Chains A and B, each alone.
Chain A
Amino acid sequence: MATKPSLALIPSAYKASKVYSILPNNGDGDFTFSRGSEATRINKDGLIETVLDNIPRLDYSDGGCPSLLLEPQRTNLFENSSRVNEANTSNFAIGTGQTPTVLSENNLAPDGSLTACEWNFNVGSGVTTDDASLINKSYATTSGVDYTLSVYIYAELDNTKIYIRAAGSIYSLRTLNAGWNKVEVTDTATSTSSSWLIGLRQAFSGGIINSNITVKIWGLQVEEGSYVTSYIPTSGGAATRDNDFISGAGNANLFNSLDGTFFVQMASFLNTQTNSNGIELSDSSGQNRVTIQYDTTNNQIRAEIKVANVTEALFFTSTYDVTNFNKIAVTYKYNEAKLYINGNLISTDTNVNIFAEDTLTEVRSTIAGISSGAFNLQAKIKDLRVYDKALTDAELIELTSN
C-alpha cells in the first residue's frame, strides 16, 4: 500500500525504557516503555533470556519476526524454579509405584544453564489409579481462583506420556515429543491449600500409559491466573514480574484528529479476558480516544471512538480467535467510522462527531488513560500504525488482509 503512515511501530529495536518506532524518524513516535522488574523472553536463538527492568521484550516464540510482549503482572509461587529437585519438592508413590528419584542435577536447560534435573518415574506393573509415581508441592491458594502450572520437560522419546496438575484434583495428560517441551495446565483451586503435581498414574483418562520414564525437568512455574505467561525465575522465594506498559508515542502535530486510521496487528494470550484491556490513540486524559480492546466476552474485539467521553462509535465482533495475530483497523472522520478486521468490514457508523483539531496526542497500551495494570493491553504486538487520513476501503482491505 502506497500510503505512508505517520506513525509505524514494527517491533525491531529498543533500549531501556524505549521502543523505537520506524516512523517518524525524528523520534516523536517512539514509545516510552516501563516494567518495574526483570523478565524473560524467547530470544532469536530460541533460548530463554532474562532482561533487566524497563527493557522491552522482543519475543520470538511464535517464529519469524518478533512481537512486542506486553504481559500482566504475575508471580511465580514455586520458590526454586530452576532446581526442580528432591529438596525442593515432595515425592511419593502409591501401590506398585516407586518414589520418583533424581538421577542427575546438572543437565543443560532451556536457558543455557546446567540446572535441569533428571528424574525417573516408575509406576511398576500396576494398572490401576492406585498405582502412581509423582512429585508435587503444596502452596497456598484461594478457593475458586484459577492457577496455572507451566514446566519444561525433556523427553528422550516421542509420545512420552505424563500427567500434570496445577491445583484441584484433576490430572491432565500431556504427550511429549523427544526434546524439550513446555507443558502447561490451568486448574481451579478448591481449597486454601493446593498441590501442583507431575508424574505417572495409571488408568486415568489416558488409560494405561508408559510405566517407566526418565525425563529432565526445569523452569517450573505456578502462577495465579487462567493462562501461562513468560517464565519467571525464582531462587529461594516467590518472584514477581511487573506488567509491561507502553505510552507516549506521538503528539498533536503527528496525528490528524479530524481524519485518521488506527491499525494494530496483535494477539491476545487468551480467548476470554479477565478484564477488558486494550490500546488507544488518545488525548492525555483518555476522554477523547480511539480504542481497540479485548473484552470479557469470549473472543470479543471491541473498537470505540469517544469524543469528550461520549461514545460516538462502538463496534464489536466475536468472529475472530483473539489469540491469533489479527489485523484490526479503525477509521475516524466526521460522520464516518469503520472497523476492519483481517480484510473484512465489520461495521460502519455514519453518525459520528469527531475530535477537535490537535486533540489526539498519544498512543498507549491502556483504556481511557488508566495506567494501573488492570486495563493495560495484554497481548503481543506485531505491527502498529497511525495514518493521517481515513483509508479507503481498498486500502483497508489491503492493510488488514493476511
Chain B
Amino acid sequence: MTNWGKIYNTTLWGIGVINNIFWGIVYYNDKVRKDYVDRVNSDGGVIESSMCIKVI
C-alpha cells in the first residue's frame, strides 16, 4: 500500500497542515463547524452555507 500513514493529506475542507503555527487547524474548524451545525439545528435555525465556516 503506498502512502501508508498519510491518511488525510487533503480533506474535504482543505490541506491537513496549513502553516507552522498550529497543527490540526482543519480538525479544529471541523469540530467547530459540527458543533455549530448541531446547535443551530437543535434551536430550529436554518443553515445555508456551513462550508464557508473557517474560524482559524
Given contacts A10-B53, A65-B52, contact A25 B32 (CB under 8 A): yes
By a CB distance below 8 angstroms, the chain B residues around A4 are: 28, 55-56
Q: Are A8 and B44 in contact (CB under 8 A)?
A: no
Chain A residues within 8 Å of chain B by Cβ, number: 23
CB contact between B45 and one of A11, A14, A64 (< 8 Å): that residue: A14
Classify chain B: how many residues form its interface, as a range.
Answer: 20 to 34
CB contact between A22 and one of B22, B36, B45, B46 (< 8 Å): that residue: B36
Q: Are B32 and A1 in contact (CB under 8 A)?
A: no
Check B3 for interface membership: any CB of A closer than 8 A.
Answer: no
Check A168 for interface membership: any CB of B closer than 8 A.
Answer: no
Given contacts A12-B47, A13-B46, A14-B46, contact A22 B21 (CB under 8 A): no
Q: Are B52 and A10 in contact (CB under 8 A)?
A: yes
Q: Are B49 and A66 in contact (CB under 8 A)?
A: yes
Given contacts A12-B48, A12-B49, A58-B48, contact A2 B25 (CB under 8 A): yes
Check A182 for interface membership: any CB of B closer than 8 A.
Answer: no
Q: Nearest Cβ in chain A — how far from B21, in angstroms?
A: 4
Check A174 for interface membership: any CB of B closer than 8 A.
Answer: no
> A1, A8, A22, A23 — which one has the most chain B CB atoms within 10 A of its CB?
A22
Given contacts A1-B21, A13-B36, A25-B32, contact A66 B52 (CB under 8 A): yes
In the docked arrangement, what's the CA distance between A64 and B28, Å? 23
- Closest-by-CB residue of B relative to A395 is B21
Q: Nearest Cβ in chain A — how far from B33, in angstroms?
A: 8
By a CB distance below 8 angstroms, the chain A residues around B50 are: 12-13
> A13, A14, A27, A44 — which one has the most chain B CB atoms within 10 A of its CB?
A13
CB contact between A2 and one of B36, B46, B56 (< 8 Å): that residue: B56
Check A262 for interface membership: any CB of B closer than 8 A.
Answer: no
CB contact between B21 and one of A2, A18, A65 (< 8 Å): that residue: A2
- Closest-by-CB residue of A relative to B28 is A4
Check A137 for interface membership: any CB of B closer than 8 A.
Answer: no
Given contacts A2-B25, A27-B39, contact A22 B48 (CB under 8 A): no
By a CB distance below 8 angstroms, the chain A residues around B54 are: 10
Q: Are B40 and A20 in contact (CB under 8 A)?
A: yes
In the docked arrangement, what's the CA distance between A58 and B50, Å? 12
Given contacts A15-B43, A66-B48, contact A1 B36 (CB under 8 A): no
Q: Report A1-51 residues with CB < 8 Å from chain B CB.
A: 1-5, 8, 10-15, 18, 20, 22-23, 25, 27, 44
In the docked arrangement, what's the CA distance between A8 and B56, Å? 10
Q: Are A65 and B45 in contact (CB under 8 A)?
A: no
Q: Nearest Cβ in chain B — how far from A373, in angstroms?
A: 26
> A5, A11, A23 — which one has the most chain B CB atoms within 10 A of its CB?
A23
In the docked arrangement, what's the CA distance between A15 and B46, Å? 6
By a CB distance below 8 angstroms, the chain B residues around A25 are: 32, 35-36, 39
6 A-B pairs closest in CB distance:
A2-B22, A65-B52, A15-B45, A2-B21, A12-B49, A13-B40
Q: Which residues of A approach B to under 8 Å, CB–CB?
A: 1-5, 8, 10-15, 18, 20, 22-23, 25, 27, 44, 58, 64-66
Listed by A's residue number, 30 A-B pairs whose Cβ atoms lie within 8 Å are A2-B19, A2-B21, A3-B56, A4-B28, A4-B55, A5-B56, A10-B52, A10-B55, A12-B47, A12-B49, A12-B52, A13-B36, A13-B48, A13-B50, A14-B45, A14-B46, A15-B46, A20-B36, A20-B45, A22-B32, A22-B33, A23-B32, A25-B36, A27-B39, A44-B48, A58-B48, A64-B52, A65-B52, A66-B48, A66-B52
